[in-house]
């Protein structure tokens, strides 16, 4: 009996190490040599029912030196210390099929030291044309949420998407496309180190929260992405089609403001 229990515990530990090294699309991360071993957490363990602000510094405080990031994004050439370096790494990206149909790569824009980061799903037609994130009708609504609702300047936050290229016809992102773009988003988050990330819509929220639950079930909770609080909410484009959901988004933004003020 003792031998069987010891074997079972060893198997559980090995599975935990394996799952801790995987992203939501199953890409193994190369750990940093100086990083402590990762520990596994279930999807439920990454999601809290209410904000936990004990680990967050007060608003306006000077940021402490960041701890070593727990993994190296796949393909990271090393030596990247700022966002322009990541732009150079992406270059004229040809890592997935969307390169053949896009007009412009949309890297993202905003404050490189932002406390608050928004991650959407993918560029639309306006974004593809201009090479900027959230500049169409949904982008204007996001600006209103930030500036009129949250009383913040859009220039003080950082805005990106889980994909940097527009899918044809604004279809949903596909797994191989998310996998191709994933290292760049991981590196942006690592360099910006926001205190809170808002997932706008299903795909970024699921990726950040490490869950396959629908957005309607995970919004209203607070997740964790390597020590960064995650607040999932509806995409502004959804609000254009369903204005009644604006109240839910405002409730989520109040959670964000509470986390930032803690």
Per-position DSSP letters for the chain, written without gaps between them: -HHHHHHHHHHHHHHHHHHHTB-TT-PBPBPPTTSPPP----TGGGEESS---TTSPPTTPPPPPPPPPS-B-TT--S---SHHHHHHHHSS--SSGGGGT-SS----EE-TT-SEEEEES---HHHHHHT-SS-SHHHHHHHHIIIIIS---GGGSEEEES-SSPPGGGPPPPHHHHHHHHHHHHHHHHHH--SEEEEESHHHHHHHHT--S-HHHHTTSEEEETTEEEEEE--HHHHHH-GGGHHHHHHHHHHHHHHHH-
- pLDDT given for residue 37 in this prediction: 34
- pLDDT given for residue 71 in this prediction: 77
Q: What is the pTM of this model?
A: 0.77
Contact indicator for 110, 208 with CB cutoff of 8 Å: no
DSSP conformation class of 13: H
- pLDDT given for residue 70 in this prediction: 78
- pLDDT given for residue 66 in this prediction: 67
- pLDDT given for residue 18 in this prediction: 38
- pLDDT given for residue 64 in this prediction: 60
Give the number of C-alpha atoms closer than 13 A to the C-alpha of residue 207, restricted to the C-beta side.
28
CA 256 centroid distance within chain: 14
Domains of the chain are: 45-261 (3.40.470.10)
Burial of 13 (0-12, 13-18, 19+ CB in 10 A): exposed
- pLDDT given for residue 59 in this prediction: 43
- pLDDT given for residue 223 in this prediction: 96
Q: What's the 3-state SS for 207-231?
A: HHHCCCCCHHHHCCCEEEECCEEEE
- pLDDT given for residue 44 in this prediction: 33
pLDDT tens, 37-76? 333 333 333 334 444 333 334 444 456 666 777 778 888 8
Mean pLDDT, 10 residues at a time, the chain of 262 residues: 54 45 39 34 37 40 65 88 96 96 97 98 97 97 98 98 97 96 97 98 96 96 96 98 97 98 93
């Amino acid at each position: 009996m003792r031998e069987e229990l010891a074997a079972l515990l060893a198997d559980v530990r090995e599975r935990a190490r394996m799952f801790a090294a995987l992203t939501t699309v199953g890409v193994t991360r190369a750990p940093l040599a100086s990083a402590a071993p990762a520990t596994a957490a279930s999807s439920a363990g990454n999601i809290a029912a209410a904000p936990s602000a004990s680990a967050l510094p007060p608003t306006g405080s000077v940021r402490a030196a960041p701890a070593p990031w727990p993994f190296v994004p796949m393909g990271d050439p090393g030596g990247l210390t700022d966002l322009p370096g990541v732009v150079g790494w992406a270059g004229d990206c040809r890592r997935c099929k969307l390169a053949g149909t896009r007009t412009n790569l949309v890297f993202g824009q905003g404050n490189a030291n932002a406390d608050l980061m928004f991650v959407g799903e993918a560029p639309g037609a306006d974004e593809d044309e201009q090479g900027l994130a959230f500049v169409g009708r949904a982008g204007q609504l996001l600006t209103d949420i930030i500036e009129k609702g949250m009383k913040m300047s859009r220039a003080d936050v950082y805005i990106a998407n889980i994909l940097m290229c527009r899918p044809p016809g604004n279809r949903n992102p596909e797994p191989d496309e998310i996998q191709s773009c994933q290292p760049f988003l991981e590196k942006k988050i690592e360099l910006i180190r926001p205190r809170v990330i808002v997932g706008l819509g299903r795909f970024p929220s699921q990726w950040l929260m490490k869950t396959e639950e629908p957005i309607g079930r995970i919004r209203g909770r607070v997740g964790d992405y390597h020590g960064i609080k995650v607040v999932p909410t509806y995409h502004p484009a959804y609000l254009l089609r369903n204005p009644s959901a604006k109240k839910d988004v405002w409730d989520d933004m109040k959670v964000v403001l509470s986390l930032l003020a803690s």
